[in-house]
Amino acid sequence: MILEKARNIFNEKGLDLTLDVLAREMGLTKGRITNHFSTKERLFQAILASYEWQLAEFVKHFNWPSRQLNFEHLGLYISGVMDVQYENRCGIAYIALIGEEKYEIAESVQVNYKRNLHSIRQRTEAMVAAGLLVPGILRKRDFQVFTFMIVNLLTTWVISAQQYERSISYASLKPAYLEGVMQCYFPYLAEEGEKQYEKLNFSKLARNG
């Protein structure tokens, strides 16, 4: 209960809240919070652990097609990832602010990054095999450029939305942000990929992801 309420408050009011202010916002004593999370850093470690678990559960249970990958399923997958990220946007913002001295969190970020790169590689290879992407995307330099774009967009979009378009609802922003992420694939589309990409309805994908 404390974790969920804290996440929601940090999401809406920013990261600068002290534990004293947070406790007042939650209608609890500070001791009630520190009994479980001794410092604000420990609280954010728990928020990030919860985020990682939610994301892993989504990835584990996502219903990929039984045969070949297609761009509609990829769009639904990315849409769902964005929903989990938005729910945990304070944690993502916190990661962007911390320095290397926060070793435990920084180490966890590195481990998750390497795991995500492996998943992206496997998915990209499957899309090449399905004739959706050109084989050139798997060349070392091209794959570095591609992963740089998609990994950064698929994390920093949350921070951009909070900083620059806070007055606009997530539901309104999401279709454009989803399309922006998926355009990372655009330079590498094969003929079949182009046909599928042109048929994508990003508003529908944003609603159903």
What does the DSSP assignment read for 27-95?
A: TS-HHHHHTT-SSHHHHHHHHHHHHHHHHHHHHHH----SSS--HHHHHHHHHHHHHHHHHTHHHHHHH
CB neighbourhood size of 156 (10 A): 14
pLDDT in tens, the chain (209 residues): 999 999 999 999 999 999 999 999 999 999 999 999 999 989 999 999 999 999 999 999 998 887 788 999 999 999 999 999 999 999 999 988 776 556 666 677 667 777 788 889 999 999 999 999 999 999 999 999 999 999 999 988 999 998 899 899 999 999 999 999 999 999 999 999 999 999 999 999 999 87
The rounded Cα 5 to chain-centroid distance in angstroms is: 20
Domain with CATH 1.10.357 in the chain: 48-208
- pLDDT at residue 149 in the model: 95
Q: What pLDDT is recorded for position 102? A: 64
C-alpha–C-alpha distance, residues 7 and 22, integer Å: 10
Query: Contact 64/193 with Cβ under 8 angstroms?
Result: no
CATH number of 1-38: 1.10.10.60
Looking at domain 48-208, which CATH architecture does it have?
Answer: Orthogonal Bundle (1.10)
Q: Where in the chain is the domain with CATH 1.10.10.60?
A: 1-38
pLDDT tens for 123-158 read 999 999 999 999 999 999 999 999 999 999 998 899
Predicted confidence at residue 68, as pLDDT, reads 81
